Chains A and B, each alone.
Chain A
Amino acid sequence: MTTDSRTVAQGATNTRLAAGFFALFLGAFFVWGAGFAHSAALHDTAHDVRHAFGFPCH
């Protein structure tokens, strides 16, 4: 029932990587919605921001 330290470290690394990828995809999802989605509502709302940031637009 003892947990050896290597397993703990491995678990911590896995959590870190999982959280990192989760945050990366969540962030990308936000940026996609504001900057890239082809939806007319999103395009019109974010229009000036898309141009200001130099995202491909139109």
Chain B
Amino acid sequence: MIIRYLLAALVAGLVAGVLVTPIQYLKVIPLIAHAEAYENGGHGIEPHDHHQAGLVSSAHAHGPDALGKGRVILAHAPAAGGGEDAGDASLFQSRALGTLTANVVTGGGFALMLAAVALLAGRSITTRNGALWGLAGFAAVALAPALGLPPELPAMPAADLSARQAWWIMTVGLTAVGLYCLILRREVPLRALGVALLVVPHLFAAPHPAQLASPIPPTLAAEFAVASLATGAAFWVLLGLGVGFAMDRFGTSEA
């Protein structure tokens, strides 16, 4: 029975991953592509290499910069050559196919985790409450970390990747436990603890780079942060509804 329950959740997650892909293509992915034009200095946009830009051609200006930023730019360096994917390490020829695959895997992963939380908490996700489960997932996985680390575009300055990942994971974990205590428990001390857990991650400053100058126009970054959160909310509602529907239809929530 539990295998069936988890398989149902997994399938719902895969479907949510497929469905969110065209939603991403409405706004966030065009914005990423736009930002990459600035990152690569392509399409007539000068890269902001403060010291070298005047001395070398823009194609070379990225060399020293790439060294300075480590793997960050290296991953994108092939794209500077022109073709979107020419020579990059992606598993697929098509960038859209890579995006679809990554969405499906992410959707399946988050769906399993959502179903796991329900299982561990002894609650059931149904079509009726699925959207609320999804919104709770959104709050924990997208909204809370975005308070410290707003969704960023390529080429935006950022602190050490591992430090940001650690902060992100800590924030998501504490927010999830906090929401559990606040929403699914009745005991007053636990609810107070829940509120505290929601606040605590934001008392530790998220890692930010010392230098904030960026080649990306601020308007583009703001537009992207909002688009990313809106897309994330749509994804999580789809995911919650999907898992709820799958549980009602195929999985028994009684473990």
The docked-state distance in angstroms from the alpha carbon of A55 to that of B235 is 14
Closest residue to A33 on the B side, CB-wise?
Answer: B105
Q: How many A-B residue pairs have CB under 8 A?
A: 165
The docked-state distance in angstroms from the alpha carbon of A51 to that of B2 is 34
Classify the interface of chain B: helix, strand, loop or mixed: helix
User: What is the size category of the interface that chain B forms with chain A?
Assistant: 35 or more
Closest residue to B166 on the A side, CB-wise?
Answer: A56
How far, in Å, is A41 (CB) from chain B's closest CB? 5
Which of chain A's residues have a CB closer than 8 A to the CB of B115?
A: 23
Which of chain A's residues have a CB closer than 8 A to the CB of B89?
A: 40-41, 43-44
How far, in Å, is A21 (CB) from chain B's closest CB? 7
How far, in Å, is A10 (CB) from chain B's closest CB? 13
Which of chain B's residues have a CB closer than 8 A to the CB of A56?
A: 149, 158, 161, 164-165, 167-168
**Are A31 and B2 touching (Cβ within 8 A)?**
no
Q: Of B44-52, B91-99, B128-136, B181-189, which binds chain A?
A: B91-99
**Are B154 and A58 touching (Cβ within 8 A)?**
yes
Beta-carbon contacts under 8 Å, A8-44 to B: 12, 15-17, 19-24, 26-36, 38, 40-44
How far, in Å, is A28 (CB) from chain B's closest CB? 6
Residues of A in contact with B (beta carbons under 8 Å apart): 12, 15-17, 19-24, 26-36, 38, 40-58
* 13 sample A-B contacts, Cβ–Cβ < 8 Å, listed by A number: A15-B255, A16-B255, A17-B120, A20-B119, A23-B116, A27-B112, A29-B109, A33-B105, A45-B98, A45-B101, A49-B106, A52-B231, A56-B165
Residues of B in contact with A (beta carbons under 8 Å apart): 2, 5-6, 9, 24, 28-29, 32, 69, 71-72, 75, 88-92, 95, 98-99, 101-103, 105-106, 108-117, 119-120, 122, 142, 145-146, 149-154, 158, 161, 164-165, 167-168, 224-225, 228-229, 231-232, 235, 255
Closest 6 CB pairs of A and B: A30-B109, A27-B112, A54-B151, A46-B102, A27-B113, A23-B116
